[in-house]
Amino acid sequence: MTTIKDSVHDHIEVVGVAEDLLDTEEVQRLRHIRQLGTVQLVYPSANHTRFEHSLGVYHLASRALDHLGIDGIRGERIRAAALLHDVGHGPYSHNVESVTHRHTGKYHDDVEELLAAGEVGEVLRANGLDPSRVAELVAGGGKYGQLVSGELDVDRMDYLVRDAHHTGVPYGTIDHERLIRELTFVDDELVLDEGNVQTAESLLLARALMNPTVYQHHVARISKAMLRRAAERLLDQPDLTAAELRRMDDTDLIASLRTTPETEAFARRLDCRDLFKRAVWAEMGDVPDHVVDADHEEVDELERRIADRAGVERGSVIVDVPGRPSMTESTTRVMVGGEMRRLGKQSPLVSALRTAQRQQWRLGVYAPGEETDAVGRAAASVLELDADGALVSDVRHGVTATLDEFSE
């Protein structure tokens, strides 16, 4: 048994296949991938890595398996999936995932090939585990995949508490221990046991508050968009494939950006936190549907047209269109009065989350500080924004969190 000291869960005991997996290159690589990517530019303490998070997820999975009475090879498989659930992440976690996905067709939880190959594959097979079944769990498949990737998964429980610990924003401080103690399977569905409506609500509300405050903070979004743009430029170079980019860690990516002439300006801006500023920050109601739904090529074309109209260089405009908020209601299930109920039905708070998500949505257009005025005006026209309300000169005071690290 290996015992590891963790700042969130204190002592984590790693046993069985997980102990062997720890030493693999794929798992050790996660030490060099920050959990929250560029969020560190907003919350300077947020330097925690996918490695410690993966240990935390493994730990909570073990606790849940003990509680649920799952052991043997099935337990080993789930524990392996928990520890490995993030090995598919590229550098800066989610930040450049959309870029690598466009080229490779793979998201970070598509790890079947990865788990079959290399040291991880060897360790899994040596421990009598089929890599493809572990990969299935990582993707959320099957009854037990819900534990690893689902509405009540241990991944979310760990990251909320861990991100709260490291950013200093307390909203993510859920009662993870209670959540785990109340998990149960009913008809192969993972549900929370009787009397846990608030326990379930707290998990979803914590995320709803962390989202705009941390994960989608506008400075995080701007720096993420810049990093994405820089990664695209990097892929324009002849000697790097998207598959290679996906397997870089944060160190590789930053070092590449710094040493490639086409990206060194971005690298310098990110290194010195000399970021683009918001030229537009618009609510969903002010943005035409065809912009909200624009794909990568259409966004590219919009950026080109905005740059033209504003009379600035093509590289000075970034249009950042988040996906539409999911319209599916929460599928979290909780037992109430002896019957399984969807939390979205049971809880007025949770059913309000969909509306809240839509309301938190913002279109961003970013440009160097001295060009935001010109770009903002051009963007309002090209994007056919409903009101000049979307211009940052008007709305910025409504949206700039005054507790940003740097005032902009």
Q: Does 329 bind a second copy (CB under 8 A)?
A: no
Q: Between 95 and 139, whose beta carbon lies closer to a second copy?
A: 95
Whole-angstrom Cα distance, residue 328 to residue 357?
Answer: 11
Of 176, 179, 181, 165, the closest CA to residue 8 belongs to 165
Neighbouring-strand partners of residue 4: 12
Residue 346 neighbours by CB under 8 Å, 6+ apart: 197, 334, 336
Distance CA 134, CA 141 (A): 10
Q: Which two tokens stand for residue 332?
A: 């979290």
Site size toward a second copy (CB under 8 A) is: 91
Nearer to a second copy, 12 or 81 (CB): 12
Pairing of strands 318-320, 362-367: antiparallel
Residue ranges in 109-168 that form contacts with a second copy under rule CB under 8 A: 165-168
**Residue with smaller CB distance to a second copy, 10 or 289:** 10
The candidate with the shortest Cα–Cα distance to 333, out of 222, 201, 155, 226, is 201
Options 212, 344, 364, 376; binder of a second copy; rule CB under 8 A: 212
Residues in region 165-184 near a second copy by CB under 8 A = 165-171, 173-175, 177-178, 181-182
Name which of residues 213 to 252 contact a second copy (CB under 8 A): 213, 250-252
Q: How far is the CB of 387 from a second copy (least distance, A)?
A: 11
Stretch that binds a second copy, among 72-80, 131-139, 192-200, 364-372 (CB under 8 A): 192-200
C-alpha closest to that of 191 among 354, 353, 68, 9: 68
**Shortest reach from residue 303's CB to a second copy, in Å:** 26
- Which of 57, 183, 208, 222 contacts a second copy by CB under 8 A? 208
- The reply on whether position 401 binds a second copy by CB under 8 A is yes
Site stretch for a second copy (CB under 8 A), options 122-130, 143-151, 199-207, 364-372: 199-207
By beta-carbon proximity to a second copy, the closer residue of 180 and 317 is 180
Binding to a second copy by residue 271, rule CB under 8 A? yes
Residue 346 Cα distances to 57, 180, 198, 330, angstroms: 28, 20, 11, 11
CB of 45 to a second copy, least distance (A): 4
Distance, in Å, from the CA atom of 278 to the CA atom of 318, rounded to the nearest integer, reads 10
Stretch that binds a second copy, among 136-144, 148-156, 226-234, 399-407 (CB under 8 A): 399-407
Q: Does 40 bind a second copy (CB under 8 A)?
A: yes
Query: Judging by beta carbons within 10 Å of its beta carbon (0-12, 13-18, 19+), is residue 184 exposed, middle or buried?
Result: middle
Distances (CA, A) of 109 to 96, 113, 243, 331, 406: 14, 11, 15, 20, 34
**Which listed residue (98, 104, 127, 351) binds a second copy by CB under 8 A?**
351
The residue assigned the tokens 């003990």 is 66
For residues 268 and 304, which CB has a smaller minimum distance to a second copy in the complex? 268
Contact status: 71 vs a second copy (CB under 8 A): no
Cα(102)–Cα(293) distance, integer angstroms: 16
Pick between residue 208 and residue 307 the one whose CB is nearest to a second copy. 208
> Is 349 one of the binding residues for a second copy (CB under 8 A)?
yes
Q: Which two tokens stand for residue 141?
A: 């498949």
Which of the ranges 37-45, 109-117, 135-143, 231-239 carries the binding residues for a second copy, by CB under 8 A? 37-45
286 contacts a second copy (rule: CB under 8 A) = no
CB 257 → a second copy: shortest distance, Å? Answer: 10
Return the number of the residue (236 or 394) whose C-beta is nearest a second copy: 394
For residues 179 and 157, what is the distance between their CA atoms, to the nearest angstrom?
Answer: 8
Task: Tell me which residue of 370, 368, 369, 388 sits closest to 378, measured CA to CA.
Answer: 388
Q: Are 12 and 6 in contact (CB under 8 A)?
A: yes
Shortest reach from residue 356's CB to a second copy, in Å? 5
Q: Which of 66, 71, 122, 193 binds a second copy (CB under 8 A)?
A: 193
